[in-house]
Amino acid sequence: MATIASTVLAMYVVILQGQMPTIAGHLVSASLLGAPAALLMSKLIMPETESPVTRGLSIQPSYEREDNLIMAIINGANSGLKLLGGLVALLLAFLGLLALLDLLLGWSGGWLNRWLGWNFNWSLKTLLGYIFYPFTLVMGVPPPDALEIAKLVGERTVATEVVAYGHLSDLMSRGTLTDPRSAVIAAYALCGFAHVASLAVFIGGTGALAPTRLKDLSQIGARALLAATLACLMMGAVAGTFYTQGSVLLGR
């Protein structure tokens, strides 16, 4: 969840290349940083304090050998159907609940705006943006751009990194960002599947293949999302540390 797949990296390059010609190098750098960052954050959030049960043991994989080709095809198709069904069902459930929560938040927020005379945009993206605001400052985003970048991180959490990268490209094309440093740091901080849809895929896909571990998956799912989000923010901080006069890691 703290990294991206090579199959979608090209799509992000297409989205941002017009505004950031060196985006491919940045995304490759972020992908390389993602693995150790995810390992570090996962160990901090769920430290391994006891000796592993399997330490020193030689684990032999066990699997059922099918009697014939037809049975192998049937069982493979059934397993694929279970996997697909689990993914689709949980994606619909998670994203549907998010949409409902966003709708209720907008309705109640609109009522508060009329009652108190405010003009606040009540949405999950906006609220998460304010939560991530101090983190963007710590990453090294200049204060004039910090809130916009924080909203992108919040948007990635609820609407996937594809939407967030698209809006980052829009901000750059309109000249909303005052410093190119902000765009570079955002490119690193958004480079990961740290969002609710990915959580649904993780639980639904793994749970369909190992239904006896659903309880364990549900217990660590939220913490996995938190660890992935913090890992992505750490990548942004690393990019902010090495960014000097237009250069950072693999690009200029």
The closest alpha carbon to 161, from 142, 141, 189, belongs to 189
Over residues 176-181, the mean pLDDT reads 88
Rounded Cα distance, 26 and 16, in Å: 11
> So what's the pLDDT on residue 148?
92
- Per-residue pLDDT at 150 exceeds 60: yes
Counting residues of the chain whose pLDDT is more than 70, the rounded percentage is 96
Over residues 120-137, the mean pLDDT reads 89
Confidence grade of residue 236 (pLDDT, cut at 50, 70, 90): very high
Lowest mean pLDDT across 83-92, 114-123, 217-226: 83-92
239 token code pair: 């990019």
Q: Phi and psi at residue 66, in whole multiples of 5°? A: -70, 150
Domain boundaries of the chain, sorted by first residue: 107-197+211-252
Residue at token pair 């570090």: 40
Residue 187 CB neighbour total at 10 angstroms: 25
Q: What is the dihedral of CA 42, 48, 49, 51, to 10 degrees?
A: 180
Looking at residue 211, what DSSP letter applies? Answer: G
Mean pLDDT for all residues in the chain: 85
Alpha helices in the chain (DSSP H): 6-16, 23-45, 69-116, 124-139, 143-174, 180-189, 196-209, 214-242
- Per-residue pLDDT at 127 exceeds 80: yes
Looking at residue 64, what DSSP letter applies? Answer: P
Strand partners, 162: none
Q: In angstroms, how far is the first alpha carbon of the chain from the final one?
A: 27
> So what's the pLDDT on residue 143?
92
Which residue would you say has higher pLDDT here, 106 or 58?
106
Alpha carbon of 45 to those of 142, 225, 241: distances in Å?
29, 11, 24
Which SS3 state, helix, strand or coil, does residue 83 take? helix
Strand partners, 248: 251
Over residues 7-17, the mean pLDDT reads 87
